[in-house]
Amino acid sequence: MNSVTVSIRVKNLYYIYNPGTPFQRCAVDDVSFEIKSGEFVAIVGETGSGKSTLIQHFNGLLKPTRGQVFVDGVDIWKKGVQLKAIRQKVGLVFQYPEHQLFEETVFKDVAFGPNNMGLGEDEIKRRVEQALKMVGLDYKTICDRSPFELSGGEKRRVAMAGVIAMEPSVIVMDEPASGLDPRGRDEVLTEIRELHREFGFTVVIVSHSMEDVAKLAQRVIVLHRAKLIADGPVRVVFGMEDILNKAGLEAPQITRLMKELAGRNMKVRTNILTVGEAKQEILKALRSEGCVS
Ligand code: ADP
Ligand code: MG
């Protein structure tokens, strides 16, 4: 294996909360996988399956009870490794990150990380400007505003910009669209797609929405009771009904609809992920039966 192309790797990872107490809880149970540079991976599973605990290992926020975490080939818990450098490479956006906005202007909030890195004023300004642009916000109109007067989608994107301003190569986001209104969701998801497609970040999202995963991710990792039970291309994993059932998840509505149609003898593929694909497939089937021209 070429370590240069590997961005994050976890190997036989275990994490136990409150070990040796009556509250002991194994939240990550012998999990192994690697995420390559440039991938877009979604981590899914029911509430309590260990998603948030797992991703906090990617940048060394949590220390494994057992097992290893590698970032760009480096065992991050090996003696002498600077966790600060790891946290700069792997940016972590928490769930509801806007709760951590606290400065009086958007500029100051986004500049917080770069400031802590000890960068010069010009470099900080360059980074803030660039980070806001990357999340689809206009620097000039937003930089002096208070984060608290922004819309939900804007606030969340400001919080994302705060992480991007550290110039990580991997961005890990915990439920990036949860709790937003439909417009805010669209804004945030569009920008996340762009971060991957246009700016080339490696992206890992935790998501509850199989619809969002189908639209965005290339690969999906399924957790169930702290264990990894599936890891593969979204199209393949979303076709594994037994796995989804076990994990308490449902394939996207459109995938289920196509299965229903196929079950009623319509000649359509069932490994469909988006409405656009479904439309093509249904038209093809109708044409072949001479129903439409
Ligand atoms: P998810 O993000 O998939 O909802 P979590 O990683 O938050 O799952 O939680 C996994 C398990 O660990 C759950 O059983 C949860 O109750 C437990 N847990 C999470 N955080 C803590 C904590 N700080 N202390 C003790 N147990 C925790
Ligand atoms: Mg969580």
Residue 1 within a domain: no
Q: Tell me, what's the pLDDT at 90?
A: 96
Are 147 and 279 contained in the same domain? no
C-alpha of residue 79 to centroid of ligand 2, in Å: 30
Are 289 and 242 contained in the same domain? no
Res 1 pLDDT > 50: no
Are 24 and 102 contained in the same domain? yes
Are 235 and 268 contained in the same domain? no
C-alpha of residue 47 to centroid of ligand 2, in Å: 7
Q: Which ligand is nearest to the CA of 175?
A: 2
Q: Tell me, what's the pLDDT at 4?
A: 42
Are 246 and 267 contained in the same domain? no
Mean pLDDT, the chain, integer: 94
pLDDT, tens only, 61-93:
999 999 999 999 999 999 999 999 999 999 999
Span 19-39, average pLDDT: 97
Report how far residue 91's alpha carbon sits from residue 158's, in angstroms, rounded to the nearest whole number: 14
Q: Tell me, what's the pLDDT at 2?
A: 40
- Work out how many domains the chain is built from and give that number: 2
List the residue whose alpha carbon is closest to atom 14 of ligand 1: 48
More confident call, 191 vs 6: 191
Domain containing residue 234: CATH number: 3.40.50.300
The torsion region of residue 199 among left (phi > 0), alpha (psi -120 to 50) and beta comes to alpha
Are 188 and 278 contained in the same domain? no
**Helix and strand tally (H, E) in the chain?**
12, 10
Q: Tell me, what's the pLDDT at 3?
A: 40
Residues 209, 44: contact at Cβ < 8 Å? Answer: no
Q: What residues are in contact with ligand 1 under a 6 Å CB criterion?
A: 17-18, 25, 27, 45, 47-53
Q: State the residue range of the domain holding 264.
A: 252-293
Are 173 and 287 contained in the same domain? no
Are 247 and 115 contained in the same domain? yes
Q: Tell me, what's the pLDDT at 6?
A: 58
Q: Is 287 exposed, middle or buried (0-12, 13-18, 19+ CB in 10 A)?
A: exposed
Are 15 and 142 contained in the same domain? yes
Res 173 pLDDT > 50: yes
Band of residue 291 on the pLDDT scale cut at 50, 70, 90: confident
| 14, 15, 16, 17, best to mutate for ligand 1 pocket (most atoms within 8 Å of CB) | 17
In angstroms, the Cα distances linking 17 to 14, 112, 196, 227 are 10, 30, 33, 15
Are 156 and 209 contained in the same domain? yes
78: its two tokens: 């090996």
Are 169 and 267 contained in the same domain? no
- Closest ligand 1 atom to the C-alpha of 223? 3
- DSSP E strands, 65-109: 66-71, 74-75, 90-93
Residue 276 within a domain: yes
Res 14 pLDDT > 90: yes
